[in-house]
Structure 1
Amino acid sequence: MLSERPLLVYLPGLDGTGKLFFQQEFKLAAYCDVTALSIPVDDRGEWPDLIERVDELIAAHPGRRVILCGESFGGCLAMIAAIARPEAFDRLVLVNPATSWRRQTWLNQGARWLALLPAVSLQVAAVVFLPFLSATNRLTPEDRRTLLTTVRLVSRDTILHRLELMQQCDCDGQLHRLSMPTLLLGGRMDRLLPSVQEVRWLAERLPDARVEILPYSGHAALIEAELDLGAYLLKYGFVRKPSERTS
C-alpha cells in the first residue's frame, strides 16, 4: 500500500552534494518527505553509475510515490533516470535543467579553458562566476557564502568530468517516454544557461508538461529563500495539503 505522503527525491546541481536544498526542505515538510542524493565530490562515475545511485536511494524508501526533482546538472540526471525507468516516478520536476548545455558552443569552449587552470585559480574563479550561478541579490550574505563554499568543494577534474557528462546528455529522441506529469521551472534571471527557452522547448515535446517562469530567480534558484517550491507543487496538484489527504 502506498503512503499518503509522497517522497520527493532531490538530485543536486554540479556540486553534487545536495547541501543547497536546505531552503526548500522545511517548506516541503507539510506536503511530502524529502531525501537528497549526495554524490561524493571526487566521484567521476558515468551516467549509468549515477542512475544506479538514484535507484538505490529510492529502494531505501519502498512503497512510496516518488516525485523526482532535478536542478541544473541534476535535471539532466533526473531525465536520464526517468527515461530509464519511468514506472518508478509518479511526478517529475526540472529546475533550470542543464539539458541545453550541449547546445551552448561558447560555454563548451570556455569549459576547455578550465583544464588549463591550476586548482588555486579555479578557487578564485568561483568568486568571479558567482553572479552567473545565482541571482546574488536574492541571497543573504550567509547563503552566498554557503553557495560559494559548496562550489569550492568540488575539484577541477570532477567539474570537468560532470561538464562532459552534460555534453553527452542528449535525451531529445526519448522525451516521449516521460509520460508522467512534469513541472518545468525556468529562472528568467539565469545568466548561465537559457533556462526559460529550454523549459519552453522541453514543454513542447513532453507528453504532460506545465511551465512556470521564475521572474526573479537565477540559475541556483532553489537556494533562494523567497522561492517556495512547495507552493508550485501544490498549485499543480503534485502534492496535497494535509487536510486533503485521507487518514
Structure 2
Amino acid sequence: MAEPVPLKLYAPTGKHPNRPMFVYLPGMDGSGELFALQSAGLKSHFDIRCLVIPGDDLSSWERLAHQAVQLIRQEAGMAPVYLCGESFGACLALRIVALAPALASHLILINSASSFHRFPWLHWVANLTPWVAPPLYQSSNLFSLPVLANLSRIGEVNRQALMRAMTAVTQSSAAWRMALLSQFRLEPLQLQRVTAPTLLVASLGDRLLPSLEEAQRLAELLPNPRIYPLPHSGHASLLEDGVNLGAIMGAVGFLPNQIRDSEKLPSGNQPAPLAT
C-alpha cells in the first residue's frame, strides 16, 4: 500500500517572514483555496499559510493534528501563530491547541462543526454517503448548496469556486471527514489549558449547524473567548461579499500591534457586528 500524501502548507500571497504567521485550516474541501477572498484583506498584516489536506487522506484526528503541529512549527519558527479554523477546520484547530496549548498566540474559530455529532440526521448522511451511487453523490452536492451557504450574499465568482471545491472532494474523502466529525468530542480535549485569546465567529443564518449556540458552548470551555455574531450569514460565511475577517479581527483587537481595550471589550462580550 502506498504511503499517504502528507499534509502541506502553502502561501497564497507569498512569504513574508517578518510578520506573524496566520494559518488557515479549511472546511470539508480540505484545499484552502476558498480562503482567497479573505487573504487579500489580511496579507498586509500576516505571513499567511493555508493547510492542504489531500483528497484521499484517511488520517485520524490524532494524525492530522500531529502533522499540522509539526508543519506549523517548521514554518513559523519563533513567529507568533494566529490559528484560524473554519467548520471542519475549527475542529482540527481545537485538536491542535489541545495537543500543543502554547502553539497559537491567537485562536480564531469560524462556525465550528464541533456540534456535528449531536444531530442524528447528520449521522445518517455520514453513514449513507459511502454507499450512494457516484452520480447521485455529485448531484446531491448541488442540492446541498442552499443549506451550506446563503447564496444571495455570495458573488458569482465565489459561488462558482464553492461549487468547484464541493465537486472536487471525492466521495470516499467526504464520507471519511463526516465520520471524523461524528466522532469529534470536546470533553476530552481539556481546553482550559489553552491560553490564547479566542475569537468565535458565528453565523446566525447557518442552516447546517447551530453555530451561535456552539460558539456559546465553546466560550464556556475556553479561558479567554470573544463571540462575534454574523446576523445574516450562512455556514460558508467567509465567501460572502459583506464579511471581512480582517475587519472583524480589527474590531476585537486581534490584529498585530493592536492594543486591546479590556474595559471596552470584556471577555465573552459580543461586539456589534460589522457584517450585515
- Shorter-chain TM range is over 0.9
TM-score between both structures, scaled by the size of structure 2: 0.83
Structure 1 unmatched ranges of 5 or more: 243-247
Give the CA deviation at 1:4: 6.3
2:183 maps to which of 168, 185, 198: 168
TM-score between both structures, scaled by the size of structure 1: 0.92
Per-residue CA shift, 1:101-149, capped at 9, x if unaligned?
0111121123222222111111100000001111101111221111011
Is the contact made by 1:234 and 1:241 (CA closer than 8 Å) also made in structure 2?
no
Match of 1:136 in 2: 151
Q: How many residues align?
A: 240
1:109 maps to which of 115, 119, 124: 124
RMSD: 1.5
1:49 maps to which of 63, 67, 78: 63
Give the CA deviation at 1:241: 6.2
Q: Distance in 2 between matches of 1:51 and 1:113?
A: 27
Q: Per chain length, whose mean CA-contact separation is higher, i.e. which structure has more relative contact order (CA < 8 Å, sep 6+)?
A: 1
Per-residue CA shift, 1:139-161, capped at 9, x if unaligned?
11221111011111111111111
Q: Distance in 1 between matches of 2:77 and 2:191?
A: 26
1:222 and 2:238 are equivalent in the alignment: yes
Match of 2:270 in 1: none
Give the CA deviation at 1:162: 0.7
Structure 2 unmatched ranges of 5 or more: 1-16, 259-276
Q: Which has the higher mean CA deviation after the structures are superposed, 155-164 or 107-116?
A: 107-116
Match for 2:127: what amino acid?
R
Per-residue CA shift, 1:205-245, capped at 9, x if unaligned?
21110101111211111122321111121122221369xxx
Q: Hey, which of these two has a bigger chunk of helix by percent?
A: 1
Q: Structure 1 residue runs of 4+, over 3 Å off? A: none
1:27 and 2:41 are equivalent in the alignment: yes
Q: Which has the higher mean CA deviation after the structures are superposed, 231-240 or 127-136?
A: 231-240
Is the contact made by 1:115 and 1:160 (CA closer than 8 Å) also made in structure 2?
yes
- Aligned residue for 1:45, secondary structure, equals coil
- Aligned residue for 1:30, secondary structure, equals coil
1:177 and 2:188 are equivalent in the alignment: no
Q: Which has the higher mean CA deviation after the structures are superposed, 169-178 or 60-69?
A: 169-178
Q: Distance in 2 between matches of 1:160 and 1:130?
A: 17
1:195 maps to which of 189, 208, 211: 211
Q: Distance in 2 between matches of 1:76 and 1:166?
A: 8
Match of 2:86 in 1: 71
Q: Distance in 1 between matches of 2:183 and 2:84?
A: 20
Match of 2:104 in 1: 89
- Aligned residue for 1:183, secondary structure, equals strand
Match of 1:5 in 2: 19
Give the CA deviation at 1:57: 2.7
Give the CA deviation at 1:47: 1.2
Give the CA deviation at 1:199: 0.3
Is the contact made by 2:22 and 2:84 (CA closer than 8 Å) also made in structure 1?
yes
1:124 and 2:142 are equivalent in the alignment: no
